[in-house]
Amino acid sequence: MSTQTTEQRVQSARLFERAQKVLVGGVNSPVRAFKAVGGQPVFVDRAEGPYVHDVDGNRYVDLVGSWGPAIVGHAHPAVVEAVQQAAARGLSFGACCAAEAELAELIVDAVPGVDMVRLVSSGTEATMSALRLARACTGRDKVLKFLGCYHGHVDALLVAAGSGAATFGQPDSAGVPKVFAESTVLAPYNDLSAVEDIMASHGSSIAAIIVEPIAGNMGYVTPSDGFLEGLRRVCDKHGAFLIFDEVMTGFRVAWGGYRNLCNVQPDLTCWGKVIGGGMPVAAYGGSRETMSQLSPLGPTYQAGTLSGNPVGMASGLVTLGICKSDGFYDALGAKAAKLAGGLSTAAREAGVPLRTGSTGGMFGMAFSESPVRNFDDAQRCDHARFARFFTAMLNRGVWLPPSGYEAMFVSAAHNDETLDHVVGAACESFRSVAS
């Protein structure tokens, strides 16, 4: 298998030098800076199907998928056509359009217990708004979140976060007022007894427990048996809301999201990524009674000029229409499972300790001897080895997330040829980082 060198990414280097003069760190999202893996960022020129192409003409099998949204593959012809047609009628109206209700109907139909949704433009906006609504409905101020779970750059939630924050070893962001941080209570992920103890002491002041049902920002960490069910029970006992942050897992691991696999019904659910098909679209939703507390029906205010914009709605509608086809998630899950299994076998043959797993079109890997069940476990993984592995895979034409704290994704466009390429590259890369 041929490999690339830094000399084959000259245009990326030049663009990064240019970007650093006018963009903070040369990037618009910190993880893109490659600080966790070394080297310089690769600049993407275009993407189609299961591939991304950089500005130097190199092609990579993409396991990032724009961090999840590209579930049907990049630049799917039907999605592109729908976006072009919508754009020709106007990029944004700042007014109602029919496609808003159509996308909302799809989401409501897919998720039992959700009667109404509010469309927004980002996952951060969805989680922020869901928490405001939970506080309004309960009359309480505090929120319980889990160490290593990331729910966007909301002030009160940038406390011991994962993802980009953990990558830089600074889980508490500067600029967050102390009083905001004090409104957030922390517990270890997958530790139900810790949650029960916290709620026994502070339950009367906690408005909501917010959780990633599959944690995708400390790698890929699945819930222990009974964990989510236990959160539902403890919320019921203390009158708190349970919020599922399915910005990453919603419509990615199953039709509707992980809540349809685990059969645990939260009070509020947040979606993003897949529901926009790559456009900036997100949503949150719940029962009619709860959602009616939002303005203009209720006293809880939230608004957005670009919410429900027609181009995003067009992209989301076609993407979800493809996802709803018979057998879509079975086929997607089989691809992710095949890839996780192939990586596991390749690592074992190279003598490299690795943990892998998958759910639907989401999968993960961690350089660890033992299972990864929480953020402490994730921090103990061999991130230095991941950095070397990342570079080895990039040089062999495989696009991984530039951080060991991130989950990975396959799309409907990935076929046996692309998956075999990834496993073949991994065989060589594992051997190169074995010592």
Whether residues 260 and 334 fall in one domain: no
Q: Is residue 250 assigned to a domain?
A: yes
pLDDT at 67: 96
Mean pLDDT along residues 10-34: 95
Taking the C-alpha atoms of residue 404 and residue 167, their distance in angstroms, rounded to an integer, is 8
Q: Please say whether the beta carbons of 342 and 330 come within 8 A.
A: no
Taking the C-alpha atoms of residue 58 and residue 35, their distance in angstroms, rounded to an integer, is 22
Whether residues 222 and 234 fall in one domain: yes
Whether residues 141 and 196 fall in one domain: yes
pLDDT at 167: 45
Q: Is residue 314 assigned to a domain?
A: yes
Q: What is the pLDDT of residues 366-376, one digit of tens each?
A: 999 999 999 99
Least confident stretch, 116-130, 171-185, 412-426: 171-185
Whether residues 106 and 245 fall in one domain: yes
Q: How confident is the model at residue 174 (pLDDT cuts 50, 70, 90)?
A: confident
What range does the domain containing 186 cover? 77-323
- From 323, 356, 385, the end of a domain falls on 323
The total number of residues shown for the chain amounts to 435
Q: Is residue 369 assigned to a domain?
A: yes
CATH label of the domain that carries residue 111: 3.40.640.10
Candidate list 150, 220, 258, 284, residue with the active-site label:
150
pLDDT at 170: 39
Q: How confident is the model at residue 153 (pLDDT cuts 50, 70, 90)?
A: confident
Q: What is the pLDDT of residues 378-410, one digit of tens each?
A: 999 999 999 999 999 999 999 999 999 999 999
AA identity, residue 218: M
pLDDT at 168: 40
Taking the C-alpha atoms of residue 220 and residue 338, their distance in angstroms, rounded to an integer, is 16
pLDDT at 155: 77
Maximum alpha-carbon separation in the chain:
62
pLDDT at 328: 98
**Known active-site residue 245:** yes
The pLDDT of residue 4 is above 80:
no
Q: How many CA atoms lie within 13 A of 308 on its CB side?
A: 18
Q: How confident is the model at residue 192 (pLDDT cuts 50, 70, 90)?
A: very high
Which position has the token pair 């830089």? 168
Taking the C-alpha atoms of residue 22 and residue 420, their distance in angstroms, rounded to an integer, is 40
Q: Is residue 263 assigned to a domain?
A: yes
CB count within 10 Å of CB 2 equals 6
The pLDDT of residue 433 is above 60:
yes
First to last CA, the chain: 21
Whether residues 277 and 349 fall in one domain: no
pLDDT at 164: 57
Whether residues 104 and 144 fall in one domain: yes
Whether residues 201 and 52 fall in one domain: no
- From 292, 323, 354, the end of a domain falls on 323
Q: What is the pLDDT of residues 57-68, one digit of tens each?
A: 999 999 999 999
Whether residues 227 and 125 fall in one domain: yes
Q: What is the pLDDT of residues 330-349, one digit of tens each?
A: 999 999 999 999 999 999 99
CATH label of the domain that carries residue 389: 3.90.1150.10
CA distances from 155 to 25, 425, 429 (A): 21, 40, 39
Residue 345: beta bridge partners?
none
**Known active-site residue 335:** no
Whether residues 179 and 308 fall in one domain: yes
Whether residues 104 and 58 fall in one domain: no
Taking the C-alpha atoms of residue 239 and residue 220, their distance in angstroms, rounded to an integer, is 30
pLDDT at 171: 42
For the chain, the domain total comes to 2
3-state helix/strand/coil string of 224-242: CCCHHHHHHHHHHHHCCEE
> pTM for the whole thing?
0.95
Q: Is residue 70 assigned to a domain?
A: no
Residue 117: beta bridge partners?
285
Q: Is residue 71 assigned to a domain?
A: no
CB count within 10 Å of CB 203 equals 19
Q: Please say whether the beta carbons of 397 and 59 come within 8 A.
A: yes
Candidate list 54, 56, 245, 382, residue with the active-site label:
245
Taking the C-alpha atoms of residue 99 and residue 97, their distance in angstroms, rounded to an integer, is 6
**Known active-site residue 273:** yes
49's tokens:
């199907």
AA identity, residue 366: A
Candidate list 273, 284, 329, 335, residue with the active-site label:
273
pLDDT at 94: 93
Q: How confident is the model at residue 175 (pLDDT cuts 50, 70, 90)?
A: confident
Q: What is the pLDDT of residues 111-122, one digit of tens each?
A: 999 999 999 999
The pLDDT of residue 14 is above 90:
yes
3-state helix/strand/coil string of the chain: CCCCCHHHHHHHHHHHHHHCCCCHHHCCCHHHHCCCCCCCCCCEEEEEECEEEECCCCEEEECCHHHCCCCCCECCHHHHHHHHHHHHCCCCCCCCCHHHHHHHHHHHHHCCCCCEEEEECCHHHHHHHHHHHHHHHHCCCEEEEECCCCCCCCHHHCCCCCHHHHHCCCCCCCCCCHHHHCCEEEECCCCHHHHHHHHHHHHHHEEEEEECCCECCCCCECCCCCHHHHHHHHHHHHCCEEEEEECCCECCCECCCCHHHHCCCCCEEEECHHHHECECCEEEEECHHHHCCECCCCCECCCCCCCCCHHHHHHHHHHHHHHCCCCHHHHHHHHHHHHHHHHHHHHHHHCCCCEEEEECCEEEEECCCCCCCCHHHHHHCCHHHHHHHHHHHHCCCEECCCCCCCCEECCCCCCHHHHHHHHHHHHHHHHHCCC
Whether residues 279 and 217 fall in one domain: yes
Q: Please say whether the beta carbons of 73 and 411 come within 8 A.
A: yes
Q: Is residue 317 assigned to a domain?
A: yes
More confidently predicted of 234 and 181? 234
Q: Is residue 172 assigned to a domain?
A: yes
Q: What is the pLDDT of residues 223-281, one digit of tens each?
A: 999 999 999 999 999 999 999 999 999 999 999 999 999 999 999 999 999 999 999 99
- From 323, 351, 385, the end of a domain falls on 323
Whether residues 276 and 226 fall in one domain: yes
Q: What is the pLDDT of residues 122-148, one digit of tens each?
A: 999 999 999 999 999 999 999 999 999
